[in-house]
């Protein structure tokens, strides 16, 4: 997990620069996201969630209903795709 860069691991860099471990940074980030979503729900605003069963994002409204964005099934040669993802002919 920790890469070596200039004889220092990334974990050492987190400890030295931020004064906390990588695990602590991850925990704080997840808590910040959770609190922001909770605040949005309290204020009556929708939040963006992810349905792991369908592997698709959705918007969760305060009343509990979900709204899935339209699914776009682009063909590999579709011009709307970035050039690096198009099929080569």
Q: What is the pLDDT along the chain (89 residues), one digit of tens a residue?
A: 445 555 556 555 656 666 888 888 899 999 999 999 999 999 999 999 998 888 888 999 989 999 988 766 555 555 665 565 555 55
pTM over 0.85: no
How many separate domains does the chain show? 2
Handedness of CA 56, 61, 64, 67 (dihedral sign): negative
Report the distance separating Cα 87 and Cα 89, nearest Å: 6
Q: Could you tell me if 25 and 59 lie in one domain?
A: no
Q: Could you tell me if 56 and 68 lie in one domain?
A: yes
CA 79 remoteness from chain centre:
27
Tokens of 33: 């996201």
Q: Could you tell me if 35 and 51 lie in one domain?
A: no
- CA-closest candidate to residue 18, choices 30, 26, 32: 26
Q: Could you tell me if 66 and 86 lie in one domain?
A: yes
Domain that holds residue 61: 46-89
**Using an 8 Å Cβ cutoff, are 6 and 13 in contact?**
no
């Amino acid at each position: 997990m920790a890469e070596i860069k200039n004889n220092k691991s990334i974990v050492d860099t987190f400890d030295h620069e931020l004064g906390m471990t990588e695990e602590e940074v991850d925990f704080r980030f997840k808590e910040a996201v959770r609190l922001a979503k909770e605040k949005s729900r309290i204020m009556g605003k929708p939040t963006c969630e992810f349905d792991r069963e369908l592997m698709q994002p959705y918007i969760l409204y305060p009343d509990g209903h979900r709204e899935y964005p339209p699914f776009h099934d682009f063909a590999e040669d579709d011009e709307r795709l970035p050039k690096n993802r198009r099929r080569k002919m």
